[in-house]
Chain A
């Protein structure tokens, strides 16, 4: 018992290591939720056949801000005699030298899962959108605190990284229980891209000379973008919002694979690799790249012109110089962009028939950057229709992100919800991140009569295990 407790404690404490990344971690070990299969294609639903409630089978939203909460910003408010003003100097001091904002939204339109013997087939249609923006404090420092004073002679490093993507996926999954210990699963996803912006390199430096305050700017920019939102037939490229969700000619493919290994009746190990694929962006695809990467332009002041024409001529000359040094080369050409591939590795241990602990490590790979996360949780099933989860996740360099989850089953209907930061949901002004997901499923083919009369979860799990063994022939 002590060993179990120590193991559980280690798992819990390990989640406080500050790392980056985010995903619907709480669902990974939620065996009662069929959408667990989307995080590991090898996992199998408990019910024989499952249909996600059309339109709301799974909804997920995630937001993270690495630097400040709303309460932090409001701490910079100064109350004057007749009005409250936000002190931007204080607000800027809240920023770190490098700052991150991420947002993710997933919406599943359709979901179906059919299990027959050791085989399971799944199908889903979902919409996915993600945004990851890294921005420097120097930008706001420059605008708000200025380039003078003690900043003379130093360089403002304005390095941005922006990745935004919106696409639709159609997934066909297959899972098979190979033997009593091993399950394997895979999913092939056909993708339709709608919009993407990939500014993996967007660097702009500004130095103000200490002597005569001259400005020296350098830039190195590489941006790729594509969107169906622009009307391809219109020369003026007006935005057509309706096209954000249709008329995609940006095909893509992705593969998910997963494995579950039952080392022991109480101990299982699992791993999955998700979104290993790409989208070929064609619609209004454009690439903007610095004509002369890291070339510099220095402005030392205006000449004393005798006429307005002379001044205009000089300003044109400056504009040409800026274009030459800092200008962008724009190419209209299709390109491929890899998805942010994700790796998840999990472990779960059943301490008691009603009670288990689990751990998870996570990494995603986007723009040659690795964003890890560590998650640890406990689960408890007090009665057969209720399943509760509690966990902590460390991601994006935040340590304490307590989360909860619950699954409620009433007849054939199942409703589930979870969050990786419950406090962020309750007090969004005091937390820098929050996640939320929920969904509703219709479960079919379960021997409801026999299960409904069994109140003891320990007995229920035993029966479910026997049923599974019968289904794949043991």
Chain B
């Protein structure tokens, strides 16, 4: 018993060797999943036949309607006096003095027939020197809704220049600006002043009633009238084409049948004119080439008003190998796409009244579509990373390790990967995958790069003690990946057409024999 106790107390820990198997990765990768890893593209899509494409796109936005038409504040003063008949009536007890007043709307170069307010107030400041109690009502004529038309204020007589006032809320008010003699940019206000002779004050035809009508800090939602000509967008822009200007793709990779789309959308109910100037590519050497096949100017109809909703007018032009030199230019691997656009509001005539909404705008976009119909020989990707001590510490416990890849590839792209272990002097100590082979073989294709059959493969990459020891001796690991396109009659085709729905099904399992130790 004593021996057992002694042996038990002398124990310092436990050790064991186990062979553990772990399913690490189970993934179905679509091309769009892989492309999500980069922020290079604006969108990933597919054509009706299923062929996928990636898009470089940039948008320009015109000024909005609220900035295009900016009426300024109103501040008009008026003076009224009692005429003889009104004085006589006042002597009898009370009189109603009613006046219609035309208020000029600040036109900002436009001729507005109507305007609907989103917010704002019309303030009337009253200064009464007619020596009687005043009840004043302000009515804005020709407005909807009617309930917002008027407001009344009682101003008891307190002496010459008695002050008072009232405010009318303009929010939601649709004002008719054709009630004045000009037929636009004016609205009519009716002032109804009721004087009551209750205090026995003097009645004098020279005593004035002064009004100051003010409207400011208002916003609007819609305006209708003639707005005149104005440039709402003028811009020179460019777009970097990272994929085409990358080093590894420049070695013989071509995206076939590139297309360019110019698209615009108009929510102004105004006809516009779109001018596109200097659309072209900038190449690596700084040279420029213009794109052909489009007109420098396009007439853009205004948006249609349908049941109180503006229906945007959308249009585009599509440049491809059939109507432009775009495909040839993209084959030459430009680094930038550049353009200059201008959008002009066309001047309306006297009979062509137009509408502008505060949120109206016009957008113009330039997008370069690169169909994933790729012709390439070999694309070589390389990378390196230092081997961290923590990795070595974990790997030092392993006796052997087996990486098992199960592949089912529907995508006509292959990947061959090798990892080289380098010492501090960058001498190659060993390579991990022996013999070098395709980790992800391409799907079988026809001679045009169309996938005709999935490719399935089960691959074991076994690292024995020798490889693992070299890993522990290594300073860095250097990766070299070679991708190829297509698989026609068992050989890379150099051409592949990637379709929507194609996936790479990848499973990776790891099995390793590990020596473990735990100290008590």
Residue ranges of A at the interface with B (Cβ–Cβ < 8 Å)? 70-71, 74, 77-78, 83-89, 143-149, 151-152, 208-209, 211-215, 299-304, 306, 427-429
- CB pair A302–B25 under 8 Å, yes or no, is yes
* Besides the known contacts A87-B14, A87-B16, A151-B19, 13 further A-B residue pairs in the complex with CB atoms under 8 A apart: A70-B8, A85-B11, A85-B13, A85-B517, A145-B19, A146-B20, A212-B404, A212-B406, A212-B507, A301-B24, A301-B509, A306-B36, A427-B1
Considering only residues 1-16 of chain B, those with a C-beta below 8 Å from chain A are 1, 4-5, 7-8, 10-16
- CB pair B8–A213 under 8 Å, yes or no, is no
Closest residue of chain B to A88 (Cβ to Cβ) is B16
A-B contact pairs, 28 of them (CB 8 A): A74-B4, A83-B12, A85-B12, A85-B14, A86-B11, A86-B14, A146-B20, A148-B20, A148-B21, A151-B19, A152-B21, A209-B23, A212-B507, A213-B22, A213-B23, A213-B511, A214-B23, A214-B509, A300-B23, A301-B23, A301-B24, A301-B26, A301-B509, A302-B25, A303-B27, A304-B33, A306-B36, A429-B4
Query: Among the interface residues B7, B17, B27, which one has the most CB atoms of the partner chain A within 10 A?
Result: B7
**What residues of chain B lie closer than 8 Å to A70, measured between beta carbons?**
4, 8
Inter-chain CA distance A158–B28, complex, in Å, is: 33
**What residues of chain A lie closer than 8 Å to B25, measured between beta carbons?**
301-304
Does more than half of chain B's interface fall in helix, strand or loop, or is it mixed? strand
Inter-chain CA distance A214–B25, complex, in Å, is: 10
**What residues of chain A lie closer than 8 Å to B511, measured between beta carbons?**
148-149, 152, 213
**What residues of chain A lie closer than 8 Å to B232, measured between beta carbons?**
none
Does B310 sit at the interface, judged by CB under 8 A? no
**What residues of chain A lie closer than 8 Å to B29, measured between beta carbons?**
304
Does B47 sit at the interface, judged by CB under 8 A? no
With A301-B26, A306-B33 as known contacts, state yes or no: A429 contacts B509, CB within 8 Å: no
Inter-chain CA distance A88–B518, complex, in Å, is: 11
**What residues of chain B lie closer than 8 Å to A152, measured between beta carbons?**
21, 511
Whole-angstrom distance between the Cβ of A81 and the nearest chain B Cβ: 12
Does B508 sit at the interface, judged by CB under 8 A? yes
Does B512 sit at the interface, judged by CB under 8 A? yes
Whole-angstrom distance between the Cβ of A110 and the nearest chain B Cβ: 35
- CB pair A86–B15 under 8 Å, yes or no, is yes
For the complex of A and B, 10 pairs with smallest distance between CB atoms:
A146-B18, A301-B26, A148-B19, A83-B12, A213-B509, A429-B4, A148-B21, A88-B16, A213-B21, A149-B19
- CB pair A213–B33 under 8 Å, yes or no, is no
Whole-angstrom distance between the Cβ of A146 and the nearest chain B Cβ: 3
**What residues of chain A lie closer than 8 Å to B119, measured between beta carbons?**
none
Query: Which one of A89, A209, A300 lies within 8 Å of B16 (CB-CB)?
Result: A89
- CB pair A301–B18 under 8 Å, yes or no, is no
**What residues of chain A lie closer than 8 Å to B1, measured between beta carbons?**
427-429
Inter-chain CA distance A71–B512, complex, in Å, is: 32
Inter-chain CA distance A304–B509, complex, in Å, is: 14
**What residues of chain B lie closer than 8 Å to A212, measured between beta carbons?**
23, 404, 406, 507, 509
**What residues of chain A lie closer than 8 Å to B391, measured between beta carbons?**
none
- CB pair B26–A211 under 8 Å, yes or no, is no
- CB pair B7–A74 under 8 Å, yes or no, is yes
- CB pair A301–B507 under 8 Å, yes or no, is yes
Inter-chain CA distance A121–B13, complex, in Å, is: 57
A-B contact count (CB 8 A): 116
Does B510 sit at the interface, judged by CB under 8 A? yes
- CB pair A145–B18 under 8 Å, yes or no, is yes
Closest residue of chain A to B9 (Cβ to Cβ) is A84
Inter-chain CA distance A393–B53, complex, in Å, is: 83
**What residues of chain B lie closer than 8 Å to A88, measured between beta carbons?**
14-16
Closest residue of chain A to B22 (Cβ to Cβ) is A213
Inter-chain CA distance A208–B406, complex, in Å, is: 16
- CB pair B24–A77 under 8 Å, yes or no, is no
Whole-angstrom distance between the Cβ of A63 and the nearest chain B Cβ: 16
- CB pair A77–B11 under 8 Å, yes or no, is yes
Query: Which one of A144, A146, A302 lies within 8 Å of B21 (CB-CB)?
Result: A146
**What residues of chain B lie closer than 8 Å to A211, measured between beta carbons?**
406, 458
Inter-chain CA distance A85–B8, complex, in Å, is: 10
With A144-B18, A148-B512, A301-B507 as known contacts, state yes or no: A84 contacts B10, CB within 8 Å: yes
With A427-B1, A428-B1 as known contacts, state yes or no: A149 contacts B16, CB within 8 Å: no
**What residues of chain A lie closer than 8 Å to B28, measured between beta carbons?**
303
Whole-angstrom distance between the Cβ of A40 and the nearest chain B Cβ: 36
Does B212 sit at the interface, judged by CB under 8 A? no
Closest residue of chain B to A149 (Cβ to Cβ) is B19
Inter-chain CA distance A425–B333, complex, in Å, is: 89
**What residues of chain B lie closer than 8 Å to A209, measured between beta carbons?**
23
Inter-chain CA distance A308–B513, complex, in Å, is: 30
- CB pair A304–B27 under 8 Å, yes or no, is yes
Closest residue of chain A to B4 (Cβ to Cβ) is A429
**What residues of chain B lie closer than 8 Å to A208, measured between beta carbons?**
21
Whole-angstrom distance between the Cβ of B44 and the nearest chain A Cβ: 13
Whole-angstrom distance between the Cβ of A125 and the nearest chain B Cβ: 36
Closest residue of chain A to B18 (Cβ to Cβ) is A146
Inter-chain CA distance A78–B10, complex, in Å, is: 11
1/0 contact trace for B484-511 toward A, CB 8 Å? Answer: 0000000000000000000000111111
- CB pair B15–A147 under 8 Å, yes or no, is no
**What residues of chain B lie closer than 8 Å to A84, measured between beta carbons?**
7, 10-12
- CB pair B26–A303 under 8 Å, yes or no, is yes
**What residues of chain B lie closer than 8 Å to A78, measured between beta carbons?**
15
Inter-chain CA distance A146–B20, complex, in Å, is: 5
- CB pair A147–B24 under 8 Å, yes or no, is no
With A212-B23, A215-B23 as known contacts, state yes or no: A300 contacts B7, CB within 8 Å: no
- CB pair B14–A83 under 8 Å, yes or no, is no
**What residues of chain B lie closer than 8 Å to A83, measured between beta carbons?**
10, 12-13
Closest residue of chain A to B10 (Cβ to Cβ) is A84
Considering only residues 406-425 of chain B, those with a C-beta below 8 Å from chain A are 406
Inter-chain CA distance A313–B296, complex, in Å, is: 50
Inter-chain CA distance A211–B402, complex, in Å, is: 12
Inter-chain CA distance A429–B512, complex, in Å, is: 36
Inter-chain CA distance A2–B8, complex, in Å, is: 50
**What residues of chain B lie closer than 8 Å to A148, measured between beta carbons?**
18-21, 511-513
- CB pair B26–A302 under 8 Å, yes or no, is yes
**What residues of chain A lie closer than 8 Å to B4, measured between beta carbons?**
70-71, 74, 429
